[in-house]
Structure 1
Amino acid sequence: MTALRGLADWKLICGIRTYEEQDRLYGKRPRVTRAKGGQSMHNFGIAGDVCLFVDGKDVWTPSEGANSIYKPVAALAHKLGLVWGGDFKSIYDPGHVQLGELSTATLHHAYTTGSATLAQLLQS
């Protein structure tokens, strides 16, 4: 997040989550995620969420459009070859970045069986 530091006060607010933590988020209302435990890239340690803070308060809008506060996050993610959540087709998640576009089923299988490392999965 050092690359964003000069632009604003960006902070990583979420990284890895256990399946149980993911299930608790999934059960929240209003819904904050569409992923149950084992269905989120956060569960495998390859995703993070960032938020902008101004004067110590979190800022979430505008999240879309030409004046989006997430434009620097998108630019940096694209520059680094990361997946940006604002490009998702199923949900708009502009504070989310992740490594690769692996399926969670593939990650879950490798995680539970020890059949492959993340590096091996990203190379295939």
Structure 2
Amino acid sequence: MKIRTILVFLFIIGIGYFIFLFQKYSNRPMPTELHPIVEEKKEELVKQAEEIGINVIITDGFRSVEEQDAIYQQGRETDGNIVTYAKGGESYHNYGLAIDFALLTNDDNVIWDLEYDGNQNGESDWNEVVEIAKELGFSWGGDFTRFKDYPHLQMDFGLSITELKWGKRPEDVID
């Protein structure tokens, strides 16, 4: 009987804490652009890649919830291949914390070729860009276990999508 009372008490405390956190952040608006740190690191990525002879093009950055929903419909209700499993509000792009990239060849073709070696140093340009991105603090979608998203780079600042949906933002966790 005593253990049951303690468990009920702890459950009520937990629910109270959850409600407190939700209310604390829930009135925050959705971001409308890339987070400043992500923007800065994106520019640094392009610059560092260029210094070793790789032309990187950023194909996507911030996406509104509506844009995300439209991309989610691709391959489902509209033509094309499925390119995401994230609905609007479920992507780090929606919070300004993700970018997508491609490579630009010397003859100005945009490619997503993981084996291309345009700077002819014997290494895949794609892997070189990913290495730079990781050094800058990005996580790479190619390391995802469920759905490999090779063009995707993100900085989640330790925040889950659930926390972002609640309204928590990187500023809440960055000193």
Give distance in 2, aligned partners of 1:98 and 1:105.
16
Aligned to 1:17: 63
Structure 1 residue corresponding to 2:146, chosen from 69, 74, 90: 90
Runs (4+) off by over 2 Å:
66-69
Instruction: Give structure 1 stretches of 5+ with no counterpart.
Output: 111-115
Q: Which amino acid aligns with 1:24?
A: A
Contact 1:74 1:86 in 2 (8 A): no
Q: Which amino acid aligns with 1:44?
A: Y
Give distance in 1, aligned partners of 2:88 and 2:170.
19
Contact 2:56 2:101 in 1 (8 A): yes
For the residue of structure 2 that corresponds to 1:70, the secondary structure is: helix
1:107-122 matches, cutoff 5 A: 107-110=164-167, 116-121=168-173
Give distance in 2, aligned partners of 1:57 and 1:40.
28
CA-atom RMSD in angstroms = 2.0
Aligned to 1:2: 47
TM-score of the superposed pair, with normalisation by structure 1: 0.82
Contact 1:70 1:95 in 2 (8 A): no
Task: Confirm or deny that 1:41 pairs with 2:59.
Answer: no
Give distance in 2, aligned partners of 1:21 and 1:75.
29
Q: Which has the higher strand share?
A: 1
Deviates more, 1:96-105 or 1:44-53: 96-105
How far did 1:74 drift? 1.7
Instruction: Give structure 2 stretches of 5+ with no counterpart.
Output: 1-45, 76-80, 116-121
Aligned to 2:25: none
How far did 1:81 drift? 2.1
Task: Confirm or deny that 1:59 pairs with 2:111.
Answer: yes
For the residue of structure 1 that corresponds to 2:173, the secondary structure is: helix
Q: Which amino acid aligns with 2:72?
A: Y
Q: Which has the higher helix share?
A: 2
Contact 2:114 2:127 in 1 (8 A): no
Task: Confirm or deny that 1:76 pairs with 2:132.
Answer: yes
Aligned length: 116
How far did 1:67 drift? 5.9
Q: Which amino acid aligns with 1:5?
A: E
Aligned to 1:105: 162
User: Identity over aligned residues, as a percent?
Assistant: 33
TM-score of the superposed pair, with normalisation by structure 2: 0.60
Deviations 1:38-79 (Å, cap 9, x if unpaired)?
Answer: 00000000100111011121111236xx96442012211221
How far did 1:122 drift? 5.0
How far did 1:23 drift? 0.3
Larger Rg: 2
